[in-house]
Amino acid sequence: MFSTPDFARLQPTSDSLNIILKNTNFPDNILDEAAKINLEIKYYSGLTLLFLKFSQPYHDFFEILTYQGFRGSQMDWLDKNPVIIKLVMSDTVITDKLTTREFELDTDESIVLRTNLIAQKSLTQEQIKYAEEYIYSNLDKFLK
């Protein structure tokens, strides 16, 4: 299980939170409709954790979402009901085709995610750093 800087990057849009997968780290068919992909959202000390689990655990990764990581209009995706999180990957440079896999959160999940991210405004950088360090050093606890 890895965090996303090595595998993906976040790209908030007005309609969704896109997670752009680096195609050098994933097989071309990883986002196919038949592929098993699980999105789990967990919370710890005010932080939001997105876990993406694939049929091959080698490709699993997680991202810690923080309010501070988004700026102004980059929060528009949170105002949608339901909140949508998309995995996006460019298949090849030659075809310039994008493959996407969409996760639509139910109303309750959307409210909890929105509330949690907005509540993070009150966290200090020290609190965020401490929580992130705990998450990274105890990742096995969050994978259960």
Query: Considering the entire predicted model, what is its pTM?
Result: 0.86
Is residue 6's pLDDT more than 90? no
Q: How far apart, in Å, are the Cα atoms of 46 and each of 97, 114, 119?
A: 37, 12, 7
Exposure string over 95-109, b if 16+ CB within 10 A, otherwise e: eeeebebebebeeee
Dihedral angle sign, alpha carbons of residues 80, 37, 43, 71: negative
Give the number of domains in the chain.
Answer: 1
- Domain residues for the domain of 45 are 2-142
Q: Share the mean pLDDT of the chain.
A: 86
pLDDT in tens, 87-113: 998 766 666 678 889 999 999 999 999
